[in-house]
Structure formats: structure tokens, C-alpha cells
Amino acid sequence: MWELVDALESLPVDYRDVLLLRDFEELTIAEIAERMGATVPATKSRLHRARTMAREYLLAE
């Protein structure tokens, strides 16, 4: 469990926010984009990068 917290804390703030809003708050990509003042494509990209970075962090442990 703490590994997941560490992985989330290692992410840049924008990436962490997108990941938390999507996977824990279950907002849609459009809702996240609106909330963060970003475009839908940029939000999708941030989410993909956040998941990749978190996965790499967890696999490196």
C-alpha cells in the first residue's frame, strides 16, 4: 500500500492530479480537462504519462 503512495508522491503535481481525479474520483477525461483548464488531448496525454511513470516506479522497487 505504501508503495502506491510513494509512487503517487513521486509524480509531478499535474500528473498526480489527473491520475487521482480519473482513477480515484472517477471523473471523465472531459471533466478533468475542464477542471484543470486543459484540453482533452493534453489531459489524455498526462494521464497516460502518469500511469507509465507510476508503473515504472512500482516495478523499480
This prediction's pTM: 0.90
pLDDT at 1: 72
Instruction: Write the CATH number for 53.
Output: 1.10.10.10
| C-alpha cell at position 16 | 498526480
pLDDT at 7: 94
3-state helix, strand, coil in the chain (%, to 5): 80, 0, 20
**What range defines the domain where residue 39 resides?**
2-60
The mean pLDDT value for 50-55 works out to 96
Backbone phi, then psi, for 39, in 5-degree steps? -80, 160
- When divided into structural domains, the chain yields a total of 1
* Residue indicated by cell numbers 493534453: 42
Instruction: Write down the number of H helices and E strands in the chain.
Output: 4, 0
